[in-house]
């Protein structure tokens, strides 16, 4: 995620930003405490340097091994998640939006300056695209009001996008959750692709493609909550065909899971997804498949008996 783990104490680690992380199941870190507890803390705070020589070592290795054979994508943050890590919790940053907007803006400005410089360096080192991974929503809706999104998140997302475009590479925005209330703003900011368009949250990739397919690509969205973890390989193929029928017509679609290939995904289901993509995702698309699957909705039956 663009940070370097510094030291450890018991089951916690402290990174170079001073954020304390705990370790969840499967070794996934989560923020426990942050160094910025007040505006005074921010005044005396000095972030790490984005120009440190070690910063992009993994990217450089990927470029050396795969440049020209695979797309090299650099994953980073934009202007929401990292500020709340530094504030010691999302709730603290959201309260700042109401009670201390100057602190919220100053903190986000510091973070985005670092992140933009890191993106620029990554592109110079050979990254073919930038992906920002901040989640803006749960399955029920955005984590803040559309008004607060426009004021406190959107300007910094736009700066990230503009910096990436000046370097001539696309900007892919990742966010889970139900994002319809803020999606117009995200598209207007200039994102080149949206990932992963989470179906279990009520995001229909076909509807997103219909509304915005002339302005951006869509990435997704084979469900990784139930289908890739518990379904049969035949059901995985059905989900892939439905996704392709809804999103791949006319191009502008990257088939992927609805979030990631996480540890609970069954290996045979991942292989089935890849095999189905190679079989059914070749252009020209199979017209009969498109007609049959465009109107389906496998998410409606995702908790049926054979998936329990």
Q: Report the alpha-carbon distance of residue 237 to residue 123 in Å, rounded.
A: 36
Is residue 218 within 8 A of residue 183, CB to CB? The reply is: no
Q: Does residue 9 surpass a pLDDT of 50?
A: no
Task: Specify the DSSP element, H or E, that contains 103.
Answer: helix 101-124
Q: Does residue 304 surpass a pLDDT of 70?
A: no
Give the pLDDT band of residue 4 (cuts 50, 70, 90): very low
The DSSP annotation for 17-46 comes to TS-EEEE-GGG-EEEEE-S--SHHHHHT--
Give a yes or no: residue 238 inside a domain: yes
Give a yes or no: residue 110 inside a domain: yes
Residue 12's pLDDT is 86
> Could you read off the pLDDT of 29-81 as tens digits, one per residue?
889 999 999 999 999 999 999 999 899 999 999 999 999 999 999 999 999 99
> Could you read off the pLDDT of 192-240 as tens digits, one per residue?
999 999 999 999 999 999 999 999 999 999 999 999 999 999 999 999 9
Give a yes or no: residue 19 inside a domain: no
Query: By residue range, what is the domain housing residue 154?
Result: 46-307
SS3 sequence of 160-205: HHHHHHHCCCCEEEEECCCCHHHHHHHHHHCCCEEEECCHHHCCCH
Residue 1's pLDDT is 40
Name residue, tokens 């966010």: 175
In the chain, % of residues over pLDDT 70: 93
Residue 224's pLDDT is 96
Percentages (nearest 5) of helix, strand, coil residues in the chain = 50, 15, 35
Residue bearing the bigger pLDDT, 5 or 181? 181
Give a yes or no: residue 62 inside a domain: yes
Is residue 226 within 8 A of residue 303, CB to CB? The reply is: yes
Is residue 48 within 8 A of residue 117, CB to CB? The reply is: no
> Could you read off the pLDDT of 80-107 as tens digits, one per residue?
999 999 999 999 999 999 999 999 999 9
Residue 175's domain is classified under what CATH number?
3.20.20.210
Q: Does residue 292 surpass a pLDDT of 90?
A: yes
Give a yes or no: residue 282 inside a domain: yes
**DSSP character for 57?**
H
Q: Report the alpha-carbon distance of residue 117 to residue 51 in Å, rounded.
A: 8
Give a yes or no: residue 29 inside a domain: no
What average pLDDT does the segment 19-27 reach?
A: 83
Give a yes or no: residue 258 inside a domain: yes
Cis, peptide link before residue 295, omega less than 30° from 0: no
Name the pairing type of β-strands 20-23 and 171-175. unpaired
How many structural domains comprise the chain?
Answer: 1
Give a yes or no: residue 15 inside a domain: no
Supply 138's token pair. 């749960």
Task: Give the C-alpha distances (Å, rounded to integers) separating 51 from 119, 122, 213.
Answer: 11, 11, 37
In degrees and rounded to multiples of 5, residue 23 shows phi and psi of -115, 120
**Nearest alpha-carbon partner for 217 in 269, 256, 185:** 256
């Amino acid at each position: 995620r663009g940070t370097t783990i510094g030291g450890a104490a018991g089951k916690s680690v402290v990174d170079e930003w001073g954020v304390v992380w705990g370790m969840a199941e499967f070794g996934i870190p989560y923020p426990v405490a942050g160094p910025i507890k007040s505006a005074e803390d921010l005044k005396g705070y000095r972030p790490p340097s984005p120009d440190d020589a070690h910063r992009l070592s993994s990217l450089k290795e990927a470029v050396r091994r795969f440049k020209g054979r695979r797309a090299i994508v650099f994953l980073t943050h934009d202007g929401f998640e990292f500020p709340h890590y530094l504030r010691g919790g999302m709730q603290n940053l959201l309260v700042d939006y109401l009670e201390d907007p100057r602190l919220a803006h100053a903190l986000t400005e510091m973070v985005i300056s670092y992140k933009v410089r890191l993106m620029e360096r990554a592109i110079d080192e050979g990254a073919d695209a930038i992906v920002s991974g901040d989640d803006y929503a749960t399955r029920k809706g955005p984590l803040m009001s559309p008004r607060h999104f426009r004021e406190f998140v959107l300007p910094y997302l736009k700066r990230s996008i503009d910096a990436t475009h000046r370097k001539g590479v696309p900007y892919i925005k990742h966010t889970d959750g139900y994002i319809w209330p803020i999606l117009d703003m995200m598209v207007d900011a200039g994102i080149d692709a949206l990932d992963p368009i989470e179906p279990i949250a009520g995001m229909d990739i076909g509807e997103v493609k219909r509304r915005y397919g002339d302005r951006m690509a869509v990435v997704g969205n084979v469900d990784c909550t139930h289908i890739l973890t518990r379904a049969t390989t035949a059901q995985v193929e059905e989900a892939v065909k439905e996704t392709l029928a809804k999103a791949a017509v006319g191009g502008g679609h990257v088939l992927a899971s609805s979030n990631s290939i996480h540890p609970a995904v069954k290996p045979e289901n991942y292989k089935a997804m890849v095999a189905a993509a190679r079989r059914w995702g070749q252009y020209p698309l199979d017209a009969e498949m498109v007609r049959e699957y465009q109107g389906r909705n496998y998410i409606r039956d995702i908790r049926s008996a054979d998936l329990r």
